[in-house]
Amino acid sequence: MTENVWTRWPSREALGRKETSRPRRLLAWAVRLLVLGALLWSAFQDSRAHGWAVVVGGVGVLVAGGLAWALFRTTLQHRLWPSLGLVLLLLGLAGGARAVGFHSPATVLLCGCAIVALERLPLAAALPVASVGFTAFAVIDEDTWPTTAVVVGGMALAGYALRLDAEARGNSQRLLAQERAARAAEAESAALAERARIAREIHDVLAHSLSAQLVHLEAARLLIERGADRTQILERVVAARGMARDGLDETRQALSALRGDLTPLEEFLTELVRQADGAEVTVEGDRRALPAEASQAVRRVAQEALTNVRKHARGAKVSVRLAYGPREVTLDVRDSGGSPGELTEAGGGYGLLGMRERAELLGGSLDAGPGEEGFVVTLRVPV
């Protein structure tokens, strides 16, 4: 629901001094001191009294300053009745000053109350207060009525212009605060996304490396239980150690990828299939650099697919095909099939679910299932 313009207060940002520039604050204080000095000077000039009358006039000026300060505080807190009470006290003080001969201070107080009301009060309250102040000024003003009307109209426009300026400043402060909040939320979201990316990379590296190590360690355990030859057991332990070393290398590579320092994808796949017996790699299309996320997705899926071949179809022939298309890159890993063997249940790596999630995060897809001979994993990532 739209707030009623007549009962709406100027915002606290508009009435306050927060986010106000230093030159503007200095100017505001200079104006206040100038008005206070003018009031004191005019009080002594207008008064024909001496002695206690002068003291009373000075005290009256200080009281007016205190009431004005209180009025600024109550309007800042949007307290209507206390604000109206303070305005009435100031108007009454102006009437008293006029009665005892302090004509200039009375005029300043009347006009000041009217202008401040237009600037800081809701319009429904500001217009009656301003009318009282300007009417009282017109009554005591000694100029001709056209001149008085022009002066009153100018002061009314000045008060409303101050109100519009304050509201514009308040709106700009709110927009600035919203922009800062949006930037903070964006920075936090980017930090969370980066942390998720780092966690995903480290998880994938550890899942691949530890899964491969677990395969060899489980094989060593089974060989020990069956009383196999020491040489066979040692081969498995050495292989597990090699996998641990490879995992450390992959971790370093993942950290390099997070820094944007990646080895060419073709070289990575060539080195990967070199370590797998019976595997070959084929690259099709125009080779080009891929975004870091897309390149990492291809690398991790290739690693996981080859790990699954070693676990579930050991000894099978594997073909790895990397195809560069105009709008996507495709990785196809096929094996010729084989017996699952007794190591099928030896631990679980990141698996097909993790590979599919990685692809979907990039807007791509992953298909995995039985092929003509063995198992086929196909990754498509838009680039």
pLDDT tens digits, residue range 205-227? 676 677 778 888 888 888 888 88
Q: Bigger pLDDT: 3 or 316?
A: 316
Does a structural domain hold residue 296? yes
Contacts of 173-177 spanning 24+ positions with Cβ under 8 A: 173/13, 173/18, 173/19, 174/11, 174/13, 176/19
Does a structural domain hold residue 57? yes
33 and 128 both lie in a single domain? yes
Q: Is the pLDDT of residue 253 over 50?
A: yes
Q: Is the pLDDT of residue 105 over 80?
A: no
188 and 138 both lie in a single domain? no
What average pLDDT does the chain have? Answer: 78
47 and 192 both lie in a single domain? no
Does a structural domain hold residue 290? yes
78 and 189 both lie in a single domain? no
294 and 362 both lie in a single domain? yes
Contact 108, 68 (CB under 8 A): no
122 and 201 both lie in a single domain? no
Domain range enclosing 24: 12-142
pLDDT bucket at 354, cuts 50 / 70 / 90: confident
Report the number of distinct structural domains present in the chain.
2
Q: How many CA atoms lie within 13 A of 114 on its CB side?
A: 25
Q: Return the SS3 of 369.
A: strand
375: which strand partners? Answer: 370
Does a structural domain hold residue 169? no
132 and 212 both lie in a single domain? no
298 and 351 both lie in a single domain? yes
Q: Which two tokens stand for residue 278?
A: 């019976």
In this prediction, residues 359-380 reach a mean pLDDT of 85
